[in-house]
Amino acid sequence: MKITGFGEILWDTFPDGKILGGAPLNVLYRLQSLGMDTAIISSRGNDGDGEELVRQIQQKNIVSNFIQIHPDYPTSQVKVSLNAHGSASYEIVYPCAWDGIRTEEAALHRVAQSDAFIFGSLAMRDETSRKTLNSLLQQAKFKIFDVNLRKPHYDASLILETMKQADVIKLNDDELYELSKIYGSPYHGLEQNIVYLAKLTDTDTLCVTLGSHGAVLYKNGEFFRHGGFKIEVADTVGSGDSFLGGLIYQLLNRAEPQHALTFACALGALVASEHGATPDISAERIGHFMNPV
């Protein structure tokens, strides 16, 4: 299958060095490792960081032909801070190269030929990239919206407008409650707000991650749940992205929703048990982690 992503590509900078990152890129890497043909549409700076970033993306066998070079903005670097439990917070500079992604015919064609198109909310913060995203969405067959609320880099009204175009929406529980409240939900319960948001956006598939407590998948009016896997957390960077990659992989291959959710939770947990967003994790390791006996 052919999967295309749009949005931020960057260096996650830790006290001990930098690691390739960016939510859509992390999702694509995980899908590529599971055997899918993946490509990223983005922009990098005309600098050494950008050249190295593209080299590493190519080494991960993600198609890099649609990465533009921005003449003025630098390659993105995001400062990552970890608390005592390994949970990450991010310091994101504006503007950077992926704020200025232009619309190009080759990228439009790639999206039109793809089985799925993955995008997030962060790359909507600038009008240039936002206009390009809207053009790409018009070409996409199957749209997957990975909501990543990073204050102050989002507009709730734009997110609602975009969610209404998506076939799948993924967000965490804090994001669910925040957006539901903004959009007028009278409810306090998790499942009530999931149904509220699904109806508001007319979306058949909505997934909410719950950190160490697993995730809930709402698909075609039915709930599926997984309570998560117990692991020693190294850091949470990219674990939600790998979760989404695993979920998409299974759903596109027509797996039963419960199996898809369990697989995704296992993959997210394994990533959280290692440092950085894109550790190598084989399908065999995921299977053994899910069923060690």
Q: Of the given ranges (24-38, 60-74, 169-183, 269-283), which has the lowest mean pLDDT?
A: 269-283
pLDDT above 90 for 85: no
Q: Residue 80: what pLDDT?
A: 83
d(CA 74, CA 280): 28
With 90 as the cut, is the pLDDT of residue 29 above it? yes
Residue-level pLDDT at 193: 98
What pLDDT was estimated at residue 288?
A: 95
Q: What percent of the chain clears pLDDT 70, i.e. is strictly above it?
A: 100
Which pLDDT score is estimated for 125? 97
Q: What is the CATH number of the domain that holds 256?
A: 3.40.1190.20
Burial of 35-69, coded b for 16+ CB within 10 Å and e otherwise, reads ebebbbbbbbbeeebbeebbebbeebebbbebbbe
Please tell me which residue, 80 or 167, carries the higher pLDDT value.
167
Helix 239-252 with 23-33: angle, nearest 10 deg? 50
Has residue 15 got a pLDDT over 90?
no
Query: How far apart, in Å, are the Cα atoms of 204 and each of 9, 134, 143, 170, 210?
Result: 29, 21, 12, 12, 20
- DSSP H helical segments within 4-100, as ranges? 23-33, 48-59
Number of other CB atoms surrounding residue 250 within 10 Å: 20
Are 98 and 9 a contacting pair, CB within 8 Å?
yes
What pLDDT is attached to residue 278? 85
Q: How many structural domains comprise the chain?
A: 1
pLDDT of residue 178: 98
Domain range enclosing 249:
2-290
Could you report the per-residue pLDDT of 135-175, keeping only the tens digit for each? 999 999 999 999 999 889 999 999 999 999 999 999 999 99
Asked whether the predicted pLDDT for residue 262 surpasses 90, the reply is yes
pLDDT confidence tier of residue 86, bands split at 50, 70 and 90: confident
Q: What is the pLDDT of residues 197-252, one digit of tens each?
A: 999 999 999 999 998 999 999 999 999 999 999 999 988 888 999 999 999 999 99
Q: What is the structure's pLDDT at 9?
A: 97
- The Cα 2–Cα 37 span in angstroms is 5
Whole-angstrom distance, CA of residue 93 vs CA of residue 72? 14
Identity of residue 63? V
Report, as an integer, the average pLDDT of 98-122. 98
CA dist 164 and 73 (Å) reads 31
- Run of H or E residues at 127: helix 127-137
